[in-house]
């Protein structure tokens, strides 16, 4: 089983204690878990078990009958009409280095997948480096062609941790890829603040205009000396999971902290979705200064929400709920902690995170590996026991 985000850590993992000044929260009720409001009306329903290190779920646009589950070891499985198919959709285990924070990490279907059959995967190759590739579905819609791989981007990984993972198409049709700072602890080579490095950033690529990709014309660092034009935003430690709110197009980035703070950065669509933003690592960890006088420099974007390590130790980002099965959840952003196994939510409004809520009925019983979202906006929680759907609990 993986050790996501925690390959290098210092400091204990204890229970609660909220550090939310940057989020506009005041925890006046104390630090015990029971002080948080308890969510009601939702529970988990097991969708698939017997998987091999499942860590992500997604679907092609408009596909209402299938769920695609990413397994760290190098396979993608399909749940079709409620049943887990025995044959993997894709099996590239022979070319994936899996274990710890490495493996098959992300999957994104082209917006026009129904006609092109093209999808993107993000994985660690046998050397442990980042590989972003496009594959094609075969004549069988439930099986991809592993020989169709077209490598579109690679990045050297100096250490085996902080590989990032998320890859998705944004509402603008461009491909976004999250890469961690390269690993070890405290970003020893300063990659996250170095615009000549792909690591420690979210990249934005146009994979439909040219091969292997083109640079979108409004990427922020085009023409800037010493900066790579693929970079959309930077100053990130390990953006394991991020997502766009399908109703507002706001971007939520859950960035895994070092030994003090876990954070969520929110980049509203009205402000350009974080175009050119510097989220501060490793000058800041959350809102806490690590860089002395550097913390006073202009242009650092603070988190919308953070919690300290009395409460957990590794954030797993999720989604703003936009399904229809549970109307009371509309607009809530759900996230979890890998180490403590809890699921919580907040609402982002007027530039602040509000309505922090704990959801005991959404705990899968162990680590929170990731979340998923299907074509209808319904939410899934992924843990060691399998994949669970969030369903109404009357």
For residues 174-179, give the mean pLDDT. Answer: 98
Instruction: Report pLDDT digits (tens) over 261-320.
Output: 999 999 999 999 999 999 999 999 999 999 888 999 999 999 999 999 999 999 999 999
Look at 21-25, 40-44, 59-63, 178-182 and tell me which has the smallest mean pLDDT.
21-25
Per the CB < 8 A criterion, the answer to whether 50 and 336 are in contact is: no
Secondary structure (3-state) at 6: coil
- Could you count the other beta carbons within 10 Å of the beta carbon of residue 376? 13
SS3 246: coil
As a whole number of angstroms, the distance between CA 290 and CA 281 comes to 9
So what's the pLDDT on residue 291?
Answer: 87
What is the CA angle 27-31-36, rounded to 5? 65
Mean pLDDT of 126-135: 98
Kindly state the percentage of the chain with pLDDT values over 70. 91
14: pLDDT strictly greater than 70: no
| Phi (first) and psi of residue 329, to 5 degrees | -90, -5
Q: Where are the domains of the chain?
A: 21-392
Q: Which of 8-17, 145-154, 357-366 has the lowest mean pLDDT?
A: 8-17
Q: 309-366 pLDDT, tens per residue?
A: 999 999 999 999 999 999 999 999 999 999 999 999 999 999 999 999 999 999 999 9
What sign for the dihedral angle of Cα 360, 366, 368, 374?
Answer: negative
% of the chain residues with pLDDT over 90: 90
Closest CA to 344 of 106, 46, 27, 50: 27
> Pick from 248, 365, 266, 276: which is nearest to 318 by CA?
266
pLDDT of residue 193: 97
The pTM is what? Answer: 0.92
Pairing of strands 90-91, 75-80: antiparallel
How is 341-384 classified by DSSP, letter by letter?
A: --EEEEEEETTEEEEEEE-GGG--SS---EEEE-TT--EEEEET
- Give me the phi and psi of 316, to 5 degrees please: -115, 115
pLDDT number for residue 23:
33
Burial of 338 (C-beta count, 10 Å sphere; 0-12/13-18/19+): buried
CB 132 within 8 A of CB 114: no
Peptide bond into 282 cis (omega under 30): yes
Q: State the average pLDDT over residues 130-146.
A: 98
CATH 2.120.10.30 assigned to 21-392 = yes
Look at residue 5 and tell me whether its pLDDT is greater than 60. no
What's residue 48's pLDDT? 97
- As a whole number of angstroms, the distance between CA 109 and CA 121 comes to 9
Which residues, listed in sequence order, are joined to residue 251 by a DSSP beta bridge? 244, 267
How many Å apart are CA 2 and CA 359, to the nearest integer?
A: 24
* 346 close to 22: Cβ distance less than 8 angstroms: no
Q: Is there a contact between 261 and 305 (Cβ–Cβ < 8 Å)?
A: no
pLDDT digits (tens, 9 = 90+) for 36-84: 999 999 999 999 999 999 999 999 999 999 999 999 999 999 999 999 9
Of the chain, the end-to-end C-alpha distance in Å amounts to 34
What does the mean pLDDT of the chain come to? 92
Q: What is the pLDDT of residue 88?
A: 98
Is the per-residue pLDDT at 6 higher than 80? no
**Residue-level pLDDT at 136:** 98
DSSP 72: T
The pLDDT value given to residue 394: 86
């Amino acid at each position: 089983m993986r050790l996501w985000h925690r390959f290098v850590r210092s400091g204990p993992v204890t229970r609660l204690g909220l550090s939310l000044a940057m989020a506009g929260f005041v925890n006046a009720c104390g630090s015990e878990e029971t002080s948080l409001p308890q969510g009601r009306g939702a529970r988990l329903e097991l969708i698939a078990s017997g998987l091999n290190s499942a860590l992500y779920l997604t679907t092609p646009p408009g596909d209402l009958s299938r769920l695609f589950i990413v397994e760290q070891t190098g396979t993608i499985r399909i749940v079709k009409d409620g049943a887990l198919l025995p044959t993997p959709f894709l099996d590239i285990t022979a070319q994936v280095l899996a274990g710890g924070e490495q493996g098959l990490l992300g999957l994104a279907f082209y917006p026009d997948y129904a006609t092109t059959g093209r999808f993107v995967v993000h994985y660690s190759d046998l050397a442990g480096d980042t590989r972003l590739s496009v594959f094609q579905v075969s004549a069988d819609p439930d099986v991809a062609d592993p020989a169709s791989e077209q490598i579109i981007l690679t990045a050297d990984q100096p250490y085996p941790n902080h590989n990032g993972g998320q890859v998705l198409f944004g509402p603008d049709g461009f491909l976004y890829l999250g890469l961690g700072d390269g690993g070890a602890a405290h970003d020893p080579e300063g990659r996250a603040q170095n615009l000549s490095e792909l690591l420690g950033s979210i990249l934005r690529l146009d994979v439909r205009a040219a091969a292997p990709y083109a640079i979108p014309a409004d990427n922020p660092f085009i023409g800037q000396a010493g900066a790579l034009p693929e970079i959309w935003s930077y100053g990130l430690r390990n953006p394991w999971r991020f997502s766009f709110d399908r109703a507002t197009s706001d971007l939520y980035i859950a960035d895994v902290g070092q030994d003090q703070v876990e954070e969520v950065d929110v980049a509203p669509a009205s402000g350009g979705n974080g175009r050119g933003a510097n989220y501060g690592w490793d000058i800041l960890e959350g809102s806490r200064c690590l860089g002395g006088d550097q913390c006073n420099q202009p242009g650092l974007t603070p988190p919308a929400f953070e919690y300290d390590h009395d409460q957990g130790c590794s954030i797993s980002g999720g989604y703003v709920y936009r399904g229809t099965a549970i109307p009371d959840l509309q607009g809530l952003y759900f996230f979890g902690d890998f180490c403590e196994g809890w699921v919580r939510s907040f609402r982002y409004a007027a530039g602040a995170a509000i309505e922090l809520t704990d959801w005991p009925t959404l705990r899968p019983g162990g680590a929170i590996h990731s979340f998923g979202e299907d074509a209808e906006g319904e939410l899934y929680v992924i843990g060691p026991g399998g994949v669970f759907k969030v369903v109404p609990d009357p």
